[in-house]
């Protein structure tokens, strides 16, 4: 039998991350041939991967990387099965190694085909599936290019990228704040202008139905009823709708006996309230229309404009699960 030294075992372990006994067995099977031993471990990984193919890799690590001049950013999720593995330093190091390669890629397929330690990323993930004993996969890949790109990662669970139209003063602070907003509030689009009219109509009907059903129960319990909105997005609020809302507000003020000379001081607040009550979809789904998490007196668009001539061009978000 080929004699296997501790140094050879350690070399294979350093190269693959496999356990001492697994490395020794692989070297014995390969009769001391280092490359063949790697193949042995890889085949073991393939067998484990096949057995665990239907498992959920909903834990893991989310990572964001930027290039040197902050014009390109990538965000990835390397998934595993358990939180225990996802928090392991070597697993996080693997995720960061993949992210370092991903910054030069345009697609997930390119990432998987990239060379990592003498094998493709796809092969490395299979190898590590065998080493760790859990399904390991590249669950998500997003790429963003802009004149300036910022990033934020929330405890390795969510990674966000935001692109800006120009590199203004203190853009680093702006980028971090908006990327944090993306990570925290889960916007799905930039503006209400991006919505499909059919989606808005369907969502309006569904939301009103839910509120009306809740109100039936509140009537039974004697509780205050929820406001039933006419609309849920600024995309529905035409100049005619605004004009009618203003007329209705004036009628309310007249009915309340408020002097006409003070209406101009009251109407702006009433109109703001009308818009807030009838744009709930925008506030949930549209980044620029969301209330800014650090100052609830403004939305994200207003916060961005406070930095000067700069706009958000795009954003990306990846997360575990």
| pLDDT per residue as tens digits for the range 289-299 | 999 999 988 99
Mean pLDDT in residue range 93-103? 96
Is pLDDT of 79 > 80? yes
Is pLDDT of 188 > 90? yes
Q: Which of residues 71 and 130 earns the better pLDDT score? A: 71
Q: What is the mean pLDDT of the chain?
A: 90
Last residue of a domain, one of 183, 211, 246: 183
- Tell me, what's the pLDDT at 7? 82
Is pLDDT of 54 > 70? no
| Side-chain-side CA neighbours of residue 23 (13 Å) | 19
Give me the domain span that covers residue 170.
59-183
Most confident of 54-58, 81-85, 184-188: 184-188
Taking a C-beta distance cutoff of 8 angstroms, is the pair 97, 116 a contact?
A: yes
The one-character DSSP state at 262 is: G
Mean pLDDT in residue range 143-159? 96
Query: What's 167's domain CATH number?
Result: 3.30.479.20
Is pLDDT of 15 > 80? no
pLDDT digits (tens, 9 = 90+) for 131-145: 777 888 999 999 999
Structure tokens at 51: 């057995």
Together in a domain, 145 and 162: yes
Together in a domain, 78 and 147: yes
d(CA 321, CA 319): 7
Mean pLDDT in residue range 219-248? 92
Together in a domain, 42 and 74: no
d(CA 61, CA 154): 10
Together in a domain, 133 and 216: no
Cα maximum dimension of the chain: 103
Residue of 34, 43, 44 lying closest to 13 (CA atoms) = 34
In a domain, 215, yes or no: yes
Is pLDDT of 17 > 70? no
Helix (H) or strand (E) holding 211: helix 197-221
In a domain, 320, yes or no: no
Is pLDDT of 1 > 60? no
d(CA 271, CA 291): 17
How many domains does the chain divide into?
3
Q: Which of residues 46 and 175 earns the better pLDDT score? A: 175
In a domain, 319, yes or no: no
pLDDT tier at 127, thresholds 50, 70, 90: confident
- Tell me, what's the pLDDT at 31? 77
pLDDT tier at 117, thresholds 50, 70, 90: confident
Least confident of 123-127, 187-191, 296-300, 315-319: 123-127
- Tell me, what's the pLDDT at 34? 81
Mean pLDDT in residue range 226-234? 90
Pairing mode, strands 72-80 and 59-66:
antiparallel
pLDDT tier at 50, thresholds 50, 70, 90: low
pLDDT digits (tens, 9 = 90+) for 233-245: 999 999 999 999 9
Together in a domain, 206 and 277: yes
pLDDT tier at 33, thresholds 50, 70, 90: confident
pTM above 0.85, yes or no: no
What is the per-residue burial (b if ≥16 Cβ within 10 Å, else e) of 217-239? Answer: eeeeeeeeeeeebebbbbbbbee
Together in a domain, 45 and 78: no
- Tell me, what's the pLDDT at 67? 97
- Tell me, what's the pLDDT at 48? 61
Together in a domain, 166 and 262: no
Together in a domain, 124 and 173: yes
pLDDT tier at 173, thresholds 50, 70, 90: very high
d(CA 61, CA 85): 10
Is pLDDT of 165 > 80? yes
Together in a domain, 158 and 199: no
Helix (H) or strand (E) holding 76: strand 72-80
- Residue % of the chain over a pLDDT of 90: 67
């Amino acid at each position: 039998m080929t004699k296997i030294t501790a140094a050879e075992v350690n070399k294979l372990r350093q190269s693959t991350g496999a356990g001492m006994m697994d490395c020794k067995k692989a070297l014995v099977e390969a009769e001391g041939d280092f490359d063949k031993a790697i193949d042995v471990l890889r085949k073991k990984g393939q067998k484990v991967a096949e057995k665990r193919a239907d498992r959920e890799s909903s834990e893991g690590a989310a990572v964001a990387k930027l290039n040197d001049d902050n014009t390109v950013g990538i965000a990835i999720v390397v998934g595993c099965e358990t939180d225990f593995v996802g928090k392991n330093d070597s697993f996080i190091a693997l995720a960061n190694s993949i992210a370092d390669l991903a910054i030069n890629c345009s697609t997930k397929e390119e990432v998987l085909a990239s060379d990592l330690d003498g094998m493709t990323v796809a092969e490395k993930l299979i190898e590590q599936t065998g080493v760790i004993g859990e399904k390991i996969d590249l669950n998500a890949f997003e790429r963003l290019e802009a004149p300036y790109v910022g990033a934020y990662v929330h405890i390795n669970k969510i990674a966000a990228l935001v692109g800006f139209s120009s590199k203004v003063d203190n853009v680093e602070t702006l980028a971090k704040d908006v990327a944090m907003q993306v990570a925290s509030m889960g916007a799905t689009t930039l503006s209400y202008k991006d919505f499909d009219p059919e989606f808005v109509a369907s969502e309006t009907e569904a939301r009103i139905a839910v509120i009306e059903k809740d109100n039936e129960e509140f009537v039974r319990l004697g509780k205050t009823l929820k406001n039933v909105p006419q609309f849920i997005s600024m995309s529905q609020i035409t100049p005619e709708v605004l004009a009618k809302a203003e007329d209705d507000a004036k009628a309310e003020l007249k009915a309340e006996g408020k002097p006409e000379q003070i209406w101009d001081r009251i109407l702006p607040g009433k109109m703001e309230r009308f818009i807030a009550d009838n744009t709930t979809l925008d506030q949930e789904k549209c980044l620029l229309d969301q209330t800014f998490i650090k100052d609830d007196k403004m939305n994200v668009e207003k916060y961005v404009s406070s930095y000067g001539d700069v706009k958000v061009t795009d954003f990306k978000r990846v997360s575990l699960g």
